[in-house]
Amino acid sequence: MLMPKRVKYRKAHRGRMRGEAHRGASVVFGEFGLQALDRAWVTAQQIEASRRAVTRFIKRGGKLWIRVFPDKPVTKKPAETRMGSGKGNPEFWVAVVRPGRVMFELAGVSEDVARE
């Protein structure tokens, strides 16, 4: 699972996801790219599941680059806990994705396989 080795602060603010992606909005490494159309938090589990699906589909012929990294911790309070008593513990990691961001890149495959 993708996550930072160490972070300066263990808990982060939720923040806003306004605007569009300017950095990371063009294909750099491969020939084809998967671009986000909507804004979302993409979890490390979702990135790993998509990586497995794509690598299984392209077999040994192609190469895959993952252009997003989950560097934001999301906290969660335990079940049946009363309100208050501080912020919960970090539960999982997410990557903040804005519209236009290239999330994955492919090379070494045909356009039909890349579109699939």
- Domain range annotation of the chain: 32-78+85-115
DSSP tag of 86: S
Strand partners, 90: 75
User: pLDDT exceeding 70 applies to what percent of the chain?
Assistant: 100
Question: What is residue 59's predicted lDDT score, i.e. its pLDDT?
Answer: 83
Label residue 34 by pLDDT band (50, 70, 90). Answer: very high
Average predicted confidence (pLDDT) for the chain: 93
Asked whether the whole model's pTM tops 0.85, one would answer: yes
Of 42, 30, 3, the closest CA to residue 104 belongs to 30
Q: What average pLDDT does the segment 89-95 reach?
A: 95
Q: In what order do the strands lie in the sheet with 72-76?
A: 40-43, 89-97, 72-76
pLDDT bracket for residue 5 (50, 70, 90): very high
Q: CB–CB of 75/85 below 8 Å?
A: no
What is the predicted pLDDT for the residue at 113?
A: 86
Segment 52-80 mean pLDDT: 92
Q: The domain at 32-78+85-115 falls in which architecture?
A: Alpha-Beta Complex (3.90)
Nearest partner of 47 among 104, 109, 108, judged by Cα: 104
The answer for 48, left when phi > 0, alpha when psi is -120 to 50, beta otherwise, is alpha
Distances (CA, A) of 13 to 7, 16, 74, 90: 14, 9, 9, 12
pLDDT at 60 over 80: yes
